[in-house]
Structure 1
Amino acid sequence: MEKFVILLSSVLFLVGCASTYNYRASDFNDLNKDYIVDAKMKKVLETQFFGTTTKNILSLYINNQLILEGALDIQEAGTFKSMYDGKQLTLECYKVGAFSIEPYCQVHLDQRKIGSFKLKMDR
């Protein structure tokens, strides 16, 4: 009975584990001084009984205001569209090259690029 309780406790511990990593935008290329662009990403790895699920939640800020929040796919890539200041806002993130570790993102407002950045892990 004692072995069963230890085994069950171990399984429940492994099933409930989660790790969170925070990323911040860096290497900015602000092309338009009217907009201050910033971004953060939270990566959550949840260990489950049959594997691990990954959630990449990206938050985009313009002029210190949260404008867009969405989930990138497991490869940390995705495209989001929204409206900002009466104009269409597009955020596109992807990894450059086959061995890239950090996602690269571009922000467009009415198809005019207003900035780009890389997401790097906070240390």
Structure 2
Amino acid sequence: MSGAGIALTQVLAAGGTLLAEGVSDGPSDGQDLNAVTVSPGLPGFIVMFLIAVALVLLVLDMSRRVRRITARERIEERHRLEEEERQAALDAQGGAEGASAEESARDRPEGEPGGGPSPRT
């Protein structure tokens, strides 16, 4: 076992013995236990309030981070789609250039190099 594990075990054992020794039959001040004497009071309220504030701040931070991540994913997806469209347009333009070269050869007057169909005799 590591040194931290041994130290933790010793602390827990010491805490257990202190709790076992501290248990008595009744309250040490002789008062009865009721809602007023057992309530956490102002320190308990302050601690719970601080925990609640920390929880709200953590939730706000988490939601902000999740929104950023989803926005980045949408932007990356949009860029990817635009790149695919641009590539498809370039591919189509490359195919159209080959077809337009054939069309321009047919449009040239006869007799010019690369001109229209040769005369049939």
User: What TM-score do the two structures reach when normalised by structure 1?
Assistant: 0.23
Greater Rg over alpha carbons, structure? 2
